[in-house]
Amino acid sequence: MTAATGGVPLGWGFVGTGAVSRSVASDLALVAPARSIAVCSRDAGRARDFADELGVERAYDSLDAFLDDDAVEIVHIGTPHSTHADLAVRCLEAGKHVLVEKPMGVDAAEVERIATAARAAGLFAMEGMWMRFHPSYRALLAAARDGDIGEVTSVRATFGLPFGDRDSGRWSAELASSTLLDQGIYPVTLACDVLGQPASIVAEIDAREDGVDVTVHATLGFAESRFAHIGASMVGYLEPSAAISGTRGWLELPAPFWATDRLVRHVGDLGAALTTPRTDVFDREGQGYVPMLRAVTDAVARGDTEHPDHPLSSTIAIARVLDAIRAAASAASQNRKSIR
C-alpha cells in the first residue's frame, strides 16, 4: 500500500459506529484530499446506517472483509478502550495506517505494543488526541513557551461531566471504561505538555466495586517546585476549564478546555491581569476534528509514520503517567486501610 499523494484522496475506513466515529466521519468531509471508503461494525444494520448517513461508500460486518478492501488506506478506530490495541495491531498487520481514539491503549504496555507493530510495518500510527491540534491549544502552549506569563509555575485542569449514574450501561469493566482514561487524559496531557514528566504523584480514585474508576484527582509534582492539579469525573461536574499560571499572569482555556475556540490571557501588573484580560477567538472547523484529520492526512501523504506534534513517544509517556496515577491512588488506598 502507498500513501495518497499528489492530491489523490486518502482512503479512510472506520471501525466503530459510535458518536465519536460519527463526528470524525462528518468532519472528514471537510478535509481534502480525503475520502470515506468503508465502515465496519459487528452489527450490519448499524454499519449500513452509518454509511448512509455519513456518505461512506461501503459497509461491512466482517473485519476480514473490511481489511481486504484495498481502497482503505487508513483506519480510524472508535471502539471501546479494551479493543483498541488488538484492532490497531490487526489493521497495521493488514497494511493499514491507524488513527486510534484516545486512549490508544488501556496502559503503557498496550501503547508500546501498537508502536512496535507500526514501526515494524513502516506505517503511520497516532492516538486521536484532537486537543493537541486545536488552534486555541496550540496558541496556549506557544504563549507559555514564549514567556507571555513569565516563568510557568503551575497548571490546573479539570474535566468532570455526569455521563450517567454509577450503574450506567455506558460504563463497563469488561470494556475498560475509566474516567481517568476517558476524561483525565486531557488534563494530564496538558500538564505534561507544559511541565514535562512529573517527578512525584499524589492521587485518589473513587471506583465502583467492579474496578471502574468514576472520579480521580491528583497533584503532579515537577522540577523546580512546579505542580499541576488535575481532576476528572463521569458522575459529577468538575468545572471543565484549564489554566497555566506564571510569574506575570495566567492563561485560561474556558470550558470545554479540550475543545474550546478561545484563549484568555491575564497578563501584566496586578491590575491589568485581574481586570483587563485579552481574549483570542479562533475559527472552529466542523465539530472540532478537522485540524487533527487534516494533519494526519498531510502526514500520511508526506510518507511520515508519526506526526511530529503528537508522536508515539509522547503517547507512551502520557500512558505511563496514567499508569503511575493509578498506582499512586492504589498505594494511598492501601495506606488508608492499614491506618484504620
Nearest CA-CA partner of 181 in 16, 334, 313, 321: 321
CATH class of this structure's domain 10-131+289-307 = alpha beta
Beta strands 242-246 and 249-253, pairing class? antiparallel
Residue 209: Cβ-neighbour burial (10 angstroms; 0-12, 13-18, 19+):
exposed
- Averaged pLDDT, groups of 10, the chain, 340 residues long: 62 97 98 96 97 98 98 98 98 98 98 98 98 98 97 98 75 93 98 98 95 96 98 96 98 98 95 94 97 98 97 98 98 73
Cross-strand pairs, 242: 157, 253
Cβ pair 1, 8 in contact under 8 A: no
CA distance readout (Å), 262 to 77, 252, 279: 29, 9, 7
| pLDDT value for 163 | 85
Domain definitions of the chain by residue range: 10-131+289-307, 135-281+321-334
| pLDDT value for 13 | 98
Q: Which CATH number fits domain 135-281+321-334: 3.30.360.10, 3.40.50.80, 3.40.50.12160, 3.40.50.720?
A: 3.30.360.10
SS3 string of the chain? CCCCCCCCCEEEEEECCCHHHHHHHHHHCCCCCEEEEEEECCCHHHHHHHHHHHCCCEEECCHHHHHCCCCCCEEEECCCHHHHHHHHHHHHHCCCEEEEECCCCCCHHHHHHHHHHHHHHCCCEEEECHHHHCHHHHHHHHHHHCCCCCCEEEEEEEEECCCCCCCCCCCCCCCCCCHHHHHHHHHHHHHHHHHCCCCEEEEEEEECCCCCEEEEEEEEECHHHCEEEEEEECCCCECCCEEEEECCEEEEECCCCCCCCEEEEEECCHHHHHHCCEEEECCCCCCCCHHHHHHHHHHHHHCCCCECCECHHHHHHHHHHHHHHHHHHHHHHHHHHHHC
CA 89, 94, 95 angle in degrees (round to 5)?
100
